[in-house]
Chains A and B, each alone.
Chain A
Amino acid sequence: GIQVEQSPPDLILQEGANSTLRCNFSDSVNNLQWFHQNPWGQLINLFYIPSGTKQNGRLSATTVATERYSLLYISSSQTTDSGVYFCAVAGYGQNFVFGPGTRLSVLP
């Protein structure tokens, strides 16, 4: 099955800093989503991005499907951005495989 890696595993930022989170996957996918799991456990959809680039406020994401990676950019980070960021990928007709996550802590 598809293998998913995320880096870095942990990230500590000062409020206002920018960051880039990476998701590598081992095979072709036709579905990729980024999620933020807040400290209470709720997963929040950030982007549905099997290819291309999207932006939503301070967040943006880029997926280069041919090179099997996706990037999540967080600009001007805030303490409310803290939590775990997961990417999940799926091949055609397959279920999501979740990466191990990047644990982000934004300090005031």
Chain B
Amino acid sequence: GAVVSQHPSWVICKSGTSVKIECRSLDFQATTMFWYRQFPKQSLMLMATSNEGSKATYEQGVEKDKFLINHASLTLSTLTVTSAHPEDSSFYICSARGPYGGATYEQYFGPGTRLTVT
């Protein structure tokens, strides 16, 4: 149980285009979803959190107009990287968590999406 999927697993796009990454909780309802970014040989850095039906809360230094997050349902969140540039190339990982106090209150992670902007 508690499986999180991400799609696509890797994507290459041209500079200036937009890319959408999907994150789904497959077997539980995710009241909160998280988006992380990880550079090579570094730790995970939180970009934003979102609760279903609410606007995302972005961490300091993360441009909300560049990284659009939509948490449309209890099982789906999307991250859109708009007008991507080579410096946006990174490994993006989503995470989902169930309701407080429930069996799925831990954070469960998706397999990640490797984005390369050329």
A43:B93 contact, CB within 8 angstroms: yes
A40:B111 contact, CB within 8 angstroms: yes
For residue A33, CB closer than 8 A to chain B, the reply is yes
For residue A55, CB closer than 8 A to chain B, the reply is no
Which chain B residue shows the least CB distance to A99? B43
Q: How many residues of A contact B (CB 8 A)?
A: 17
Between A and B, 27 residue pairs with Cβ closer than 8 Å are A33-B106, A35-B109, A41-B38, A41-B93, A41-B111, A41-B112, A41-B114, A42-B109, A42-B111, A43-B93, A43-B109, A44-B109, A45-B2, A45-B106, A45-B109, A48-B106, A86-B44, A88-B107, A95-B34, A95-B46, A95-B49, A96-B46, A96-B107, A98-B44, A98-B45, A99-B43, A100-B42
Extra pairs beyond A41-B91, A45-B2, A98-B44 (16, CB < 8 Å): A33-B107, A40-B111, A41-B38, A41-B111, A42-B111, A43-B93, A45-B106, A45-B107, A45-B109, A48-B106, A95-B46, A96-B107, A98-B43, A100-B42, A100-B43, A101-B43
**Chain A interface residues toward B at CB < 8 A:** 33, 35, 40-45, 48, 86, 88, 95-96, 98-101
